[in-house]
Structure 1
Amino acid sequence: MKKTKLLKVPSRGLITISMVSLVLGFILAYSYSISSEDNEKNASNLSNFQEQEKYREKLVEQKERNKELTEEITDKQQKIRAFEHSFVESEESVEELVEEAEILRLLIGDIPSQGKGITVSLEDGAYNPSQENPNDYIVHESHVFKVINELKISGAEAISINGQRLHANSYIRCTGPVIVVDGKTFPAPFTIEAVGDPKVLLSSVNLGGGVVDQLTSDNIVVTVGEKDLITMPALREDDYS
């Protein structure tokens, strides 16, 4: 039986192999370490990117919400301004309606009237009954109507004839030398009083070619004056009969 001989490896070879193994192990270990760091870095970068993306999305959402709120605020402000304008206009409308109602109450005689104004007195003209037609010198209802209509047009808020206050349905009728106002008889002279702005009323009746000139040409004696205070009570039910 033959004996196997063991090969002897030179000690230098063992050292070389050991060095190679050591270097290889170090390289593997370093490569693993670098790889781990890269993975961690990549993972960290990915996490940071995702976090930033999340914040970016939230920022975009917040901007959109802010835009919506800004538009809503603008809309609310426009509605408030529109309401304020309508409220002011409504207040003005109510005030105008109240003033108009007050004027209408004065015109129909529902409330007393007091203030400055003017008086217009109409008298029959002088004539000779034996030579002239007396009707050409007598104050007729047409003359009275001319004065009253001019005063109304000029803004008089209340008018009376010989103390009898007129209303919306008043009637005037001439009966010889007297006139009948709402069923009450009054002889000449006829004094017409009007509450209103004296300057406006005087200018109106004294206008060239106006009421006074027309009545004078009809032989009527006209006297116009200003009064600081004219008082007219509210009409009663029997004043309308």
Structure 2
Amino acid sequence: MSVGPAAPHDGDAARTGPPSPPAGHRPVPSRSIATAVVAALAGLLFATNAQVFAGDEDRHPQNLEDLARVESARLERLEAENAALRGEVRGFLGAEEKDPEAGPAGRLAAEAAGQSAATGPGLTVKLWDAPQQTDGLAATLPPDSLVVHQQDIEGVMNALWAGGAEAMAVQGHRVVSTTGVRCVGNVLHIDSRTYSPPYEIQAIGDPGMLRDSLLADPRVQVYLDYVEAVGLGWSVRPAEKLALPAYAGSLTLTHAQVLNGPGSGA
């Protein structure tokens, strides 16, 4: 007579595998544990970075416009500090050193270099962008044609020099031989500072001669055509007396140099 498996005792459950965990507890797979650890570490890293770089946005702007504004403010602060230091140094100099413009030769040299303030009759020229238009000729032209460009400002400046300008300023900056006027889009850069239109150019000289030279210049004529066609801004005002500031920056011309040596490619 065959004997079958013994019947389980009352209260016992039939078991065919490992014992079940206590009620209310689930086994956690090892992959879930690893994922939880990684997530916790990532959260800790993000929280640490947020604390380290909190408030750092002002020191490191995230776009070019903010960067230019921060650097312009820094430049103004440094120039003010330099002016204060020069004032302190002047207190230790002799009479001749305090006034390098003393004498006719010194005054002429200072005026030629733009290092002394200038006053006299002249012209004030202003240029600004055309208004946005959705009809007419302006609507068919690219946006680049509706803004003031570097060549427009240079054309006005060169025409004024040709008309006998004795001194000039752009956006209040005295123009000297090392002055750089550069445009990126419709933003003007002068002496490491950034300006938006309207742009103002002042020139000291005979107002009639300056105006005649201005209107006869080919570049200015092209600009005036756009003034008529799309509404670019244009204003010319004579003045009995203009006051232009002295140039306070460095007159040293900084330029790139070709390296001659190992690794220079020469």
With the length of structure 2 as denominator, give the TM-score of the two structures. 0.48
Deviation at 1:239, TM superposition (A): 8.7
The answer for the alignment partner of 2:121 in structure 1 is 116
Q: 2:219, 2:164 → 1: CA distance?
A: 16
Q: Is 1:224 equivalent to 2:236 in the alignment?
A: yes
Q: Are the aligned partners of 1:122 and 1:139 in contact in 2 as well (CA < 8 Å)? A: yes
Q: Is 1:186 equivalent to 2:195 in the alignment?
A: yes
Q: 2:189, 2:226 → 1: CA distance?
A: 21
CA distance 1:230–1:135, change in 2 (3 Å): same
The answer for the alignment partner of 1:155 in structure 2 is 164
The answer for the alignment partner of 1:145 in structure 2 is 154
SS at match of 2:177: coil
Deviation at 1:217, TM superposition (A): 1.8
Q: 1:232, 1:239 → 2: CA distance?
A: 18
Structure 1: stretches of 5+ with no match in the other structure: 1-97
Q: 2:106, 2:226 → 1: CA distance?
A: 37
CA distance 1:119–1:232, change in 2 (3 Å): same
Structure with the larger helix share: 1
The answer for the alignment partner of 2:183 in structure 1 is 174
> How do residues 74-93 of structure 1 correspond to structure 2 at under 5 angstroms?
none
Q: Bigger radius of gyration, 1 or 2?
A: 1
The answer for the alignment partner of 2:50 in structure 1 is none
Bigger drift between 124-133 and 151-160 goes to 124-133
Q: 2:237, 2:130 → 1: CA distance?
A: 19
Deviation at 1:212, TM superposition (A): 3.9
With the length of structure 1 as denominator, give the TM-score of the two structures. 0.52
> How do residues 41-80 of structure 1 correspond to structure 2 at under 5 angstroms?
none
Bigger drift between 182-191 and 124-133 goes to 124-133
